[in-house]
Amino acid sequence: MRILRRILRTPEGILGTFILCVLVFVAIAAPWIAPYDSRTLNLRERLQPPSAQHLFGTDAVGRDLLSRVMNGARVSLSAGLTIVAIACVAGSTLGLISGFFEKATGMLIMRTTDIFVGFPALVLAIAVVAALGSGLSHGVIAVSLVWWPGYARLVHAQVLSLKRETYVEAAHSVGANSLHILLRHILPNAVGPIIVKFSLDIGYAILFVAALGFLGLGAQPPTPEWGALVAEARSYTLTYPWYPIFPGLALFVAVAGFNLLGEAVTEARSR
């Protein structure tokens, strides 16, 4: 609660928390508060400009763009959270093991991590999706596979530092086993940097999912994912500019909100 109060004392924390709360509310309530069904076609109203009837206008097949963007919040946020959660659990676990058992096991894990880090993340994600096949679930798997090394390296460095602390040596001296030391003494003291990285990573994960969707490798029509919506609208940019602008703005606001919140968390922990 003390860190939360510190976060809410900064302009970045207030704005980031507000954006996050709005996004979460829209993502949860979209099926009930969206003015239209996001998948219903109405060719007679295709490519209508923003109006009182359609606040964001309509797309190339007459679907209400506001409803599509609102439902896209659920898709994009859930995908971003899932990616970061998988990467955090997998990477942190491997980082704990590699840092605590430095010899053969730790070396093997960290050299594998280095191999993943050696490839450009987006290129590797595209290659994985190309191998698995297009689709949102495959995109989530692909991005998770390229995201975990960051957590593994972070936790590995934390464990190397923490396991030399006096309280860890004391636990060794009284006969505590390795699992007990890792979970009781090391992990709780390493969780702070993990939380900071987690809060910063969600926005970037959403951006990665949007990039795959834009390239046609992520969410497939008619799923209203923000990157896919921008991809659908790219050929109409000059003639119907509202079509790509509103999904792009939603993506921008979401990434900016998570970045602001992550910066506020970082600042709150440093005080």
- Is residue 9 in some structural domain? yes
- Please give the tally of structural domains in the chain: 1
Report the pLDDT value the prediction gives residue 245, as an integer from 0 to 100.
92
- Is residue 45 in some structural domain? no
Q: Which helix (H) or strand (E) holds 50?
A: none
Amino acid at 107: M
Give the mean pLDDT of 139-158: 90
Confidence band of 81 (pLDDT split at 50, 70, 90): very high
pLDDT > 90 in the chain, percent:
25
Taking alpha carbons only, the member of 65, 92, 110, 72 closest to residue 198 is 92
Confidence band of 22 (pLDDT split at 50, 70, 90): very high
Residue 169 has pLDDT above 80, yes or no: no
196-239: per-residue pLDDT in tens? 888 889 989 999 999 998 888 888 888 888 998 998 888 888 88
Better pLDDT: 183 or 111? 111
Distances from the Cα of 163 to the Cαs of 109, 130, 155, 188, 266, in angstroms? 18, 41, 12, 12, 24
* Tokens matching residue 81: 């959270």
Specify the 3-state DSSP secondary structure of 58.
strand
Give the mean pLDDT of 40-56: 87
Q: How far apart are CA 244 and CA 240, in angstroms?
A: 8
Length of the chain: 271
> What pTM was computed for the model?
0.89
For residue 227, give the CATH number of its domain. 1.10.3720.10
* Tokens matching residue 106: 């730790």
Q: How far apart are CA 28 and CA 80, in angstroms?
A: 15
Dihedral in degrees, nearest 10, Cα atoms 203, 205, 211, 217 = -150
Residue 267 has pLDDT above 80, yes or no: no
- Is residue 52 in some structural domain? no
Q: How far apart are CA 136 and CA 220, in angstroms?
A: 7
- Is residue 160 in some structural domain? yes
Q: What angle do CA 230, 232, 234 make, to 5 degrees?
A: 65
Residue 168 has pLDDT above 80, yes or no: no
Q: Are the C-beta atoms of 147 and 234 separated by less than 8 Å?
A: no
Residue 67 has pLDDT above 70, yes or no: yes
E strand intervals along the chain: none
Residue with tokens 């309530």: 29
Range from 62-66, 67-71, 114-118 carrying the lowest mean pLDDT: 114-118
Task: Write the CB contacts of 235 (distance below 8 Å, at least 6 apart in sequence).
Answer: none
- Residue ranges making up the domain that contains 255: 2-35+57-270
- For the chain, the average pLDDT equals 86
- Is residue 43 in some structural domain? no
Q: Are the C-beta atoms of 137 and 107 separated by less than 8 Å?
A: no
- Is residue 41 in some structural domain? no
Residue 76 has pLDDT above 80, yes or no: yes
- Is residue 231 in some structural domain? yes
Residue 173 has pLDDT above 80, yes or no: no
